[in-house]
Structure 1
Amino acid sequence: MQIIIVGCGKVGSTLTQELSKEGHDISIIDMNDDVVEEISNNYDTMGIVGNGASYGVLMEAGIENADLLIAVTNSDELNLLCCLIARKAGKCKTIARVRNPVYSEEADFIKQNLGLSMVINPEYEAACEITRLLRFPSAIDISVFNRGKVEIMNFKVKKGCILNGMQIKNLHKELKCDVLVTTVERNGEVIIPNGELTIAENDIVSIITTHKKGMEFFEKIDMIINPVKDAMIIGGGNVSYYLAKQLLKSGIKVKIIEQKESRCEELTELLPKAMIIHGDGTDKDLLMEEGISKAGSFASLTGLDEENVLLSLYARSKMNGKLITKVNRLRFDEVINSLNLGSIISPKYITSKYILKYVRAMNNTIGCNIETLYKIKKDKAEALEFYVNENSKLIGIPLEKLALKDNLLICCINRNGNIITPKGQDHIEKGDYVIVVTTNVRLNDLGDIVRR
């Protein structure tokens, strides 16, 4: 597809990288000529220096033949204007990043009346992911499918865990739990396991199941299942605001430490039920005074990755609660993953994930639309949810007769709300939602799971 990306900041550059890998024809627009030159050289894309809301600039970028325009500049208003002009100048679909809480509350109205295909707020989506983790603190990461009916939960096997030394094929017999192991990460490698694989200490295991059955599983392996009762948040930005708002609704106590006095005053008005502390979140004496050692959870959400990493390391030394660390630059992910920072949240990758899902669905040609897409450990594996329509060539064929590609697992079939853990005799029907996990990244259709 021909895709135009307006804005080459963190999100724009990440999208350029991911979409160019998938073989799309990318054009980028930004006001900074140095940034445009660097990104266009790195990813072999056409780069244009200029204002993405300019009709002339969009025409130069090929808006008349474009399939999609993605506006991710630092200005919400500019993003919306880019999309509006793109709709008038061409016939492409449009996606706008909108971060202002005022606009976010009116996202549906904006989307419908401006003809946008998607309005995405990275900070809000990051807050939603953190909220899920604080409600289920045993998990490192939670991915939601089937509109919340099914979840993939990642957790680390610690010393003394009952799973240590157990073969996957014996899980059901030993624990009487209806869960399926989808991936095992060991020494930086992501494995799609068979029943013979033995789980070991420090493995990061992913299971797929319903929320209720997941709770039963974690209870049987003696891992914490109760949601946290309080949260200490460092940094008073938009992620913290959205997060606090959701946690307070769930009855979780919230304490935010913010350095800027003016922002503290804003948050006090916006979040009257939260405790807002004006102070430096890196001040150890302040953190001890505010009760870090007794906190049920700690989220370092400042604008500096280095500060967030150091804060989480300090919190880990003082408390046993749930840790959340916001990191935008994941180039050194092997180092970051070795530091025991709890759950890592990256708003720019969350944004990339949602937009990639939309692009894959647009690219569909065979008979199964992508409903949900999650990247596992960046580019090492993917979990995808497909909706099966009448054109799929896999309908009615027993799974055991499908010549599935290597390193691929059909994890779940949702048939009219009935969650099926698939076995060889099961088959796919029209209207099913099918979840697949694979290290063969960039599947576009359910038909791609079989060998040609």
Structure 2
Amino acid sequence: MKIIIVGCGKVGSTLAEQLDKEGHDIVVVDKKSAALKKVTDSLDVMGVIGSGTSHRTLLEAGIETADLLISVTGSDELNLLCCLIARKTSRCHTIARVRNPQYNEEIEFIKEGLGLSMTINPELETAVEIERLIRLPSAIKVETFAKGKVELLKLHIPEHSVLDGMKISELSDTLRCKVLVCVVERGNNVYIPSGGFELSSNDLISIIASPQNAIDFVHKSRILVNDIKNIMIVGGSTIAEYLALRLADSNINLKIIEQNLERCEELSELLPDAIIINANAADRDVLIEEGIEDIDAFASLTNLDEENIILSLYAKKHSKAKIFTKITRLTYEDIISEMPLGIIINPKFITTDSILQHVRAMQNCGGSGIEALYRIVSNKVEALEFYAGKNAKLLGIPLEALSLKPNTLVCCINRNGEITIPTGKDYILEGDTVIIVTTNKGLYDLNDILL
């Protein structure tokens, strides 16, 4: 596909990198030559200097033959205008980044009015991810499939766990709960396990189950963490605002520390149920005075990665809270991964996954295409939900008789809302949705899982 990306910031450059890896023809557009050069020097993409709202610039970028335009500049209004001009100039699909909370309640109207294929809101998506992990405190990561009927949870096996030394095949009978362990992370190694795989303390496991069965598994395996009742957020960012609004109907006590007085006043009006503190959280006395030792969750969401890292390390030392650390630049990923920073939140990767899912779905219109896509372990493992169309070659064939690509696991079959964790005797029918976990990259169609 030919894809034009307008804006070479953090999200735009990450998108260009990921889409280039998937073999697409990428053109990047930016007014700043330095930002453009940084992307074109490191990737096999074409660059065009200019504004995405300029008809002439878009023509130079090849809008007339483009399949998709993605506008991710720092301005919502410019992104929307860029997509409008693109739609008037060609028949390409358009995606706009729209971040302002004021637009959020009207986003469907905006999409329909401008003919957008999709809007992305990194801050809202990040807040949604944090909210899921707050409501399920035992989980490190939560993703949903089958319109919420199936969840993928990443969990840490603690020391002296009942799971230590247990084989995958023994889980269902021993714990009497319907779950499937689809990925195991042990140190730097990642496994898609067979039934004979033996679990160990300190493994990170990803399980597929219905929401109720997932909760049942957490309780029976004793991977329990106390419910979160008190949260401290540092940084009155848009993410903090979205998160607070989503938690407004809960019994959670929320405290936001922000050093900009004007922003504090805005948040006080927007979030009457939250406690807003005007202070510099980098001052260690502030965190102690505000009760960091007694909180259940701590989220460092400032715009400075370095400050977020320091604050999270401090929170880890002085509390037993579940830690969330926002990091947008993973230049030193190998070092950061060894730090006790809790759950690392990266808005640009959350956004990239949503767009990759849309792009792969576009490439397979009418086939057995992608309904959902998530990266489970960085860029090593993907979990995909496929619709089984009439073109699928594996319909009606028992799973044990299929020749699947290596490191590919059929985790779940959703048939008219009935969820099945399949055995080798089960089979896929037309109209099912199927969840696949694999280390193979670039799957676009359910048939791609076959050898």
Residue equivalent to 2:113: 113
How many aligned positions are there? 451
Q: Aligned runs of 1:291-330 on 2, under 5 Å?
A: 291-330=291-330
The alpha-carbon distance between structure 1 residues 155 and 255, as it changes in their structure 2 partners (threshold 3 A), is same
For the residue of structure 2 that corresponds to 1:411, the secondary structure is: strand
In 2, the alpha carbon distance for the partners of 1:292 and 1:354 equals 34
1:27-79 Cα distance to aligned partner (Å, 9 max, x none): 00001111112211211111001001100000000000000000000000000
**Which amino acid in structure 2 is aligned with residue 403 of structure 1?**
S
Shift of residue 337, structure 1, vs aligned partner: 2.3
| Structure 1 counterpart of 2:397 | 397
Task: Give 2:123's aligned residue.
Answer: 123
Conservation of the 8 A alpha-carbon contact between 1:136 and 1:226 = no
CA displacement 1:410-445 (0-9 Å, x = unmatched): 000011111101111111111111000001121111
Q: Which moved more, 1:70-79 or 1:241-250?
A: 241-250
1:344-387 CA-to-partner distances (Å, cap 9, x unmatched) read 11110011000000000001167212111001222111000011
Q: What is the DSSP-based 3-state SS (H/G/I as helix, E as strand, rest coil) of the residue aligned with 1:316?
A: helix
Task: Report the counterpart of residue 91 of structure 1 in structure 2.
Answer: 91
RMSD: 1.2
For structure 1, which segment, 281-290 or 11-20, has the greater mean C-alpha deviation from structure 2 after superposition?
Answer: 281-290
Matches within 5 A, 1:262-411: 262-364=262-364, 367-411=367-411
Deviation at 1:202, TM superposition (A): 1.6
Distance 1:19 1:265 in 2: 41
Could you report, residue by residue, the CA deviation over 1:113-168 in whole angstroms, capped at 9, with x for unpaired residues?
A: 00000011100010000000000111111111111111110011121211112111
TM-score, structure 2 length as denominator?
A: 0.98
For residues 220 and 253 of structure 2, the distance between their equivalents in structure 1, rounded to whole angstroms, comes to: 28
Q: Whole-Å Cα distance in 1 between the matches of residues 161 and 331 of structure 2?
A: 31
Q: Please show how residues 140-155 of structure 1 align to structure 2 within 5 Å.
A: 140-155=140-155
Q: How many angstroms does 1:6 deviate by?
A: 0.1
Q: Which residue in 2 is equivalent to 1:426?
A: 426
> Could you tell me whether the CA contact under 8 Å between 1:164 and 1:200 is conserved in 2?
yes
Output the TM-score relative to the length of structure 1. 0.98
Q: What corresponds to 1:69 in structure 2? A: 69
Deviates more, 1:93-102 or 1:168-177: 168-177
Structure 2 residue aligned with 1:138: 138
- Structure 1 227/368 Cα, relative in aligned 2: closer, same or farther at 3 Å? farther
Runs (5+) with no aligned partner, structure 2? none
**Which residue identity is paired with 1:128?**
V
Structure 2: distance between partners of 1:188 and 1:331: 18
The answer to whether 1:219 aligns with 2:219 is: yes
Partner of 1:206: 206
Between the aligned partners of 1:205 and 1:387, the Cα distance in structure 2 is 26
Write the distance in 1 (CA, Å) between the matches of 2:316 and 2:155: 17
- Counterpart of 1:26? 26
Runs of 4+ deviating beyond 3 Å: none
Q: Which whole-Å CA distance do the structure 2 matches of 1:228 and 1:26 have between them? A: 44
Q: Residue 28 of structure 1 contacts residue 36 of structure 1 at CA under 8 Å; is this kept in 2?
A: yes
Q: Which amino acid aligns with 2:79?
A: N
Amino acid at match of 1:270: L
SS at match of 1:349: helix
Measure the CA separation in 2 of the matches of 1:137 and 1:6. Answer: 38
Q: Does 1:158 align with 2:158?
A: yes
Secondary structure at 1:163 match in 2: coil
Amino acid at match of 1:381: V
Aligned partners of 2:233 and 2:298 also within 8 Å: yes
> Contact between 1:5 and 1:16, CA under 8 Å: does it hold in 2?
yes
What SS does structure 2 have at the residue aligned with 1:249?
A: coil
Contact 2:158 / 2:223 at 8 angstroms: preserved in 1? no
- Post-superposition Cα deviations, 1:298-318, rounded to whole Å, max 9, x if no partner, equal 111111111111111111111
SS in 2 for 1:162: coil
Q: Which residue of 1 aligns with 2:43?
A: 43
Contact residue 394 and residue 447 of structure 1 kept, 8 A: yes
Other-structure match for 1:415? 415
CA distance in 2, matches of 1:171, 1:355: 36
What are the residue-to-residue correspondences of 1:172-187 with 2, within 5 Å? 172-187=172-187
Give me the whole-angstrom Cα distance separating, in 2, the residues matched to 1:306 and 1:376: 25
Consecutive unaligned residues of structure 1, counting only runs of 5 or more, are: none
Q: Could you tell me which amino acid in structure 1 is paired with residue 329 of structure 2?
A: R
C-alpha distance in structure 1 between counterparts of 2:137 and 2:125, whole Å: 18
